[in-house]
Amino acid sequence: MRQAASTRPSALKALLLTLRPEQWIKNLLVFAGVMFGGRLLDVSSLWAAITTFAVFCALSSAVYIFNDIADREADRQHPLKSSRPIAAGDLSPAAAAFAGAGLAGAALAVATILTPRLGLVAAAYLVLLLLYSAALKHFVIVDVLVIAGGFVLRAVAGAVAVAVPISHWLLVCTTLLALFLALSKRRHELTLLGEVAVGHRRILEEYSPYLLDQMIAVVTASTLVAYTLYTTDAETAARLGTTRLGLTVPFVLYGIFRYLYLVHQKRGGGSPSTMLVTDRPLLACVALWAASVAVILYFPLD
């Protein structure tokens, strides 16, 4: 049922909701470069990382806008997405498209000014996610790989912004973790929508909870093994100047298991960002992991 005109949000509020600021937490991944590159205490590098974070917040919001415009008819049939401003008729597609183009243009300009290489990475991210919205989301397995690619480009952008080497371990761990989140989201959509899932997202016809569970199991094990190998690798210890990074493995283990618990027992997984900020044990785990990494890297006892 449509909202009464008197209770509809203003155009500005509707636009803000469409930007989905609660999803910006995903862009914190750009700080991996400055953290693991040993530049966290360098003011200029930290400022570059913060600027990159703002750039990707703008880019991701622009992508959300264009995706909501393209999916507005399907979203109206979804129990949760039907309340999105464009689908609900609270924000016109034309106004949303104008705002999205402005955000994308400004973000690409800022990224290029910071460093041309960052501009290229930002442009690649925007093109990849727009291609996903337009076509790639309709190809089985490719859809989740593209989502993972978006996370990888965030991590690469963070490294490029502060001019630190892009570790192959960073790419592997980011890809696997992103696949874990993307597959969990697909599972949530299937279990939430049931028989009408295909009507909302056609690609869901190609998946089943059993298939997704098998994929999630493989990715979960791979993520834990990759992170453990990375933190205990002799090359990592030599580059970072500490052998104690392996002490953070229990946080990653608990975090992944907690997320699986929320997906399977609490029917979560639809929005990783929302789960992170609303589930206190998960939030505490991530905070403790970040704090422990910072202490180990910047105040080593070795």
Cα 43 to Cα 1, 166, 191: the distances in Å are 51, 20, 46
pLDDT of residue 3: 47
Do 114 and 52 meet the contact criterion of CB atoms below 8 Å apart? yes
13-44 tens-digit pLDDT = 888 888 988 889 999 999 999 999 889 889 99
Residues 6+ apart with CB under 8 A from 42: 34, 162
Do 157 and 126 meet the contact criterion of CB atoms below 8 Å apart? no
Whether 302 has a pLDDT exceeding 70, the answer reads: no
Quickly state the pLDDT bin for 194 (edges 50, 70, 90). low
Whether 119 has a pLDDT exceeding 60, the answer reads: yes
Do 172 and 151 meet the contact criterion of CB atoms below 8 Å apart? no
Distance CA 216, CA 183 (A): 6
Q: Which stretch of DSSP H or E encloses residue 70?
A: helix 43-70
Distance CA 170, CA 12 (A): 38
Whether 74 has a pLDDT exceeding 90, the answer reads: no
Whether 148 has a pLDDT exceeding 50, the answer reads: yes
pLDDT of residue 85: 84
pLDDT of residue 5: 47
pLDDT of residue 204: 82
pLDDT of residue 2: 46
Whether 59 has a pLDDT exceeding 70, the answer reads: yes
Across 1-5, 37-41, 140-144, the highest mean pLDDT is recorded for 140-144
For tokens 């027992």, name the residue: 265
Whether 199 has a pLDDT exceeding 80, the answer reads: no
Q: Looking at 82-91, 164-173, 253-262, which range is the least confident one?
A: 82-91
What's the CATH fold of domain 11-165?
A: Tetracycline Repressor; domain 2 (1.10.357)
pLDDT of residue 230: 93
pTM for this prediction: 0.88
235-251 tens-digit pLDDT = 888 888 889 999 999 99
Average pLDDT taken over every residue of the chain: 88
Q: How far is CA 176 from the centre of its chain?
A: 12
